Structure 1
Amino acid sequence: MRYLSLDNQRDGFILAARVLMMVLFVLFGWQKLAGFAGTVGYMASVGAPLPTLSAIIAVVVELGFGFLIAIGFFTRPVAIIFAVYTVATALIGHRYWALTGMDQYMAMINFYKNVSIAGGLLLLAVTGPGRYSVDGK
């Protein structure tokens, strides 16, 4: 039984979901690029492998892939890659199980935020970008 049909607004909702989900990544990807030396330092501090390469990957994925998803270009494959990246960053950068107190709590929030975003990205990979996208034209 259908209790609420959004079929007529489907493409508009998918557009909003793509853009809203990527605001976080595009903004922080830009910050990582603008303060690249600090980004490399942060990568080293959390134990990321090859900190400079990790920083480059973070900028490309967050800024570049984030922009691609926002405009709906190569949406399905990029969303899958982005979901894997998001879970990997949770495992590397938000290791709450190794912390205590408030640091543990904050890392746990960020860990599960990443896991939730990965779920949204997988859903986007299944649904596709909708009509209001480069892919949809």
Structure 2
Amino acid sequence: MSDIVNIAQSCYDRFASAMAHLRSPLLLAIRLYWGLQLSIDGWNKLHNLNRVGEYFSTLNLPMPAQTAIFVSLVELIGGFTLAIGLFTRITALVLFINMTVAFLAAEKGAFFAVITDPDKFQGASAYNDWFAALLILILGPGLFAIDTLLRRRFLPDRERAHSPA
């Protein structure tokens, strides 16, 4: 019986190791896709500030015109830096907060339906960007990011070993 357990454990370990090699390509794909989408959204908002400001005023957001500019720039610049992997975790945190506010302002019912109606939560327009930012915030940028290149270039090996990706 222990031979079967050892074989199963060995197969699982090889499988887990193979899957671990896909972590960085997956994180790159998430960063590129959602980062570019956020940048495009920010760019579109910047070119329609009056409409965005009017929409924000219907949500009772403070200073809707200024908030529209701020959110547009956060999405444009944040999406770009997320895509290239620069200041990744800080950017992901800012975008996560931005998308949480968007969730709460525009789709509060969906946000709080995470347990009672998960389809409503996951169907909200802010969900994908919110979740992508959360993943990158927690998992980091992966190997294919400017942050990783900078860390390798400027941090000694000893410090790099203790620095999260």
Separation in 1, partners of 2:146, 2:32: 13
Task: Say yes or no: does 1:122 pair with 2:121.
Answer: no
Matching of residue 81 in structure 1 with residue 94 in structure 2 = yes
Q: Secondary structure at the match of 2:61?
A: coil
Higher-RCO chain (CA-CA 8 Å, sequence separation at least 6): 1
User: What root-mean-square deviation, in Å, do the aligned CA atoms of Structure 1 and Structure 2 show?
Assistant: 2.2
Letter in 2 for 1:131: L
Tell me by how many angstroms 1:45 deviates.
Answer: 2.0
Q: Distance in 2 between matches of 1:53 and 1:89?
A: 15
* Structure 1 unpaired stretches of 5+: 98-106
Equivalents in 2 of 1:54, 1:44: separation in Å?
A: 10
Q: In structure 2, what residue type is equivalent to 1:71? A: I
Query: Is 1:39 aligned to residue 52 of structure 2?
Result: yes
Residues matched between the structures, number: 126
The equivalent of 1:102 in structure 2 is: none
CA offset at residue 95 of structure 1? 3.8
C-alpha displacement of 1:114? 2.6
Q: CA deviation at 1:23?
A: 3.3
Unpaired runs of 5+ residues, structure 2, are: 1-11, 111-119, 150-165
TM-score, normalized by length of structure 1? 0.78
Q: Which moved more, 1:77-86 or 1:67-76?
A: 77-86
Any runs of at least 4 consecutive aligned residues in structure 1 with deviations exceeding 6 A, and if so which? none
Secondary structure class of the residue paired with 1:6: helix
- Could you tell me which of 68, 71, 93 is aligned with 1:55? 68
CA drift of 1:91 comes to: 0.8
AA of the residue aligned to 1:89? A
Whether the 8 Å CA contact 2:35–2:81 is kept in 1: the answer is no
The percent identity for this pair of structures is: 25
Larger radius of gyration: 2
- Aligned equivalents of 1:34 and 1:116: distance in 2? 23
